[in-house]
């Protein structure tokens, strides 16, 4: 299976409001997990659920950045633009998310969908209230109280500081949740509520801080920026530069030069 073609086909089904097309990217016994709503769906349940969503909510999915792939898994980020009902004009408002897929042959055994929802009312005045309610129930069923959130956050910080798990370039939200010993939904809530950012932003911020420390070290100035990017957990130079510029406001080369001066 070609990873890029599989993801493009998956996006195409979403963009054509085709619930069967989306669900057919699952194996016959595959499971789709909506993390924010803490809901799982089988192939047929996903068709029924998406049929209801598509009847009132029109949108456009777009890939953000690169598709990360290993032998049996795919991870990618996406952006969703709501469309106005009349004329299908793209709204300037959007929200972002990420999906993790475990593969079996030419289909996905599991699809884990995590998305960041802003103030739903502000998305678009034309989005149906039913759709806002369906998409806005973030963490409603999580059952995570303040004390548990604090405990999971402490575990997460210890893992990041002591084990430097963020250096693993193929680290996924489910894998990190397993290390923290909590559910995927609870971990996403910890990162979102405890740190005010998404999983990808949290991961990249840790990696950028590691890269900054390396760029600051005079004893490894001979290391190329590309090597530092890979050491910090990034899969490509372009992804590293984009994240570095976003969090630091400079390119890695500018940062290194300024430190040396």
Residues 165 and 89 occupy one common structural domain: no
For the segment 154-161, the average pLDDT, to the nearest whole number, is 93
Q: Read off the pLDDT of residues 169-226 as tens digits, 9 standing for 90 and up.
A: 888 888 888 999 988 878 888 887 788 777 778 888 999 999 999 998 877 766 788 8
Among 35, 40, 79, CA closest to 172: 35
Judge whether 140 lies within some domain.
no
Domain end (from 135, 164, 199): 135
How distant is the alpha carbon of residue 169 from its chain centre? 14
Residue 104: its H or E element: strand 95-104
Q: Read off the pLDDT of residues 11-50 as tens digits, 9 standing for 90 and up.
A: 999 999 899 999 999 998 889 988 876 677 888 888 887 8
Judge whether 11 lies within some domain.
yes
pTM of the model: 0.52
Residues 116 and 182 occupy one common structural domain: no
Residues 167 and 212 occupy one common structural domain: yes
| CATH number of the structural domain spanning residue 110 | 3.10.450.50
CA-to-CA distance for 172 and 254, rounded, in angstroms?
30
Q: Is the distance from CB of 91 to CB of 81 less than 8 angstroms?
A: yes
Judge whether 9 lies within some domain.
yes
Residues 86 and 109 occupy one common structural domain: yes
Q: Is the distance from CB of 180 to CB of 152 less than 8 angstroms?
A: yes
> N- to C-terminal Cα distance for the chain?
49
How distant is the alpha carbon of residue 179 from its chain centre? 18
| CATH number of the structural domain spanning residue 166 | 1.10.10.60
**Helix, strand, coil shares, percent, the chain, to 5:** 50, 20, 30
Residues 161 and 229 occupy one common structural domain: yes
Q: Which domain holds residue 118?
A: 3-135
Residues 31 and 131 occupy one common structural domain: yes
Domain end (from 135, 155, 176): 135
Question: What's the domain count of the chain?
Answer: 2
């Amino acid at each position: 299976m070609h990873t890029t073609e599989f993801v493009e086909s998956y996006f195409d089904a979403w963009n054509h409001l085709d619930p069967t097309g989306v669900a057919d990217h699952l194996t016959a016994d595959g499971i789709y997990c909506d993390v924010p709503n803490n809901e799982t769906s089988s192939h047929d349940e996903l068709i029924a659920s998406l049929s209801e969503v598509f009847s009132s909510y029109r949108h456009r999915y777009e890939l953000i950045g690169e598709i990360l792939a290993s032998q049996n898994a795919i991870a990618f980020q996406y952006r969703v633009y709501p469309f106005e009902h009349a004329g299908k004009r793209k709204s300037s408002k959007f929200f972002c998310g990420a999906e993790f897929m475990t593969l079996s042959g030419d289909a996905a055994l599991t699809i884990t969908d995590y998305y960041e929802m802003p103030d739903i009312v502000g998305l678009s005045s034309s989005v149906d209230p039913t759709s806002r309610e369906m998409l806005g129930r973030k963490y409603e069923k999580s059952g995570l109280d303040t004390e548990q959130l604090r405990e999971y956050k402490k575990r997460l910080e210890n893992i990041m500081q002591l084990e430097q798990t963020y250096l693993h370039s193929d680290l996924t939200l489910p894998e990190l949740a397993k290390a923290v010993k909590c559910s995927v939904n609870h971990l996403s809530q910890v990162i979102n509520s405890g740190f005010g950012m998404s999983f990808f932003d949290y991961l990249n911020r840790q990696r950028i801080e590691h890269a900054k420390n390396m760029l600051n070290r005079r004893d490894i100035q001979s290391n190329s920026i590309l090597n530092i990017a890979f050491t910090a957990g990034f899969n490509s130079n372009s992804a590293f530069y984009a994240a570095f510029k976003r969090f630091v406001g400079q390119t890695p080369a500018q940062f290194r030069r300024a430190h040396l001066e």
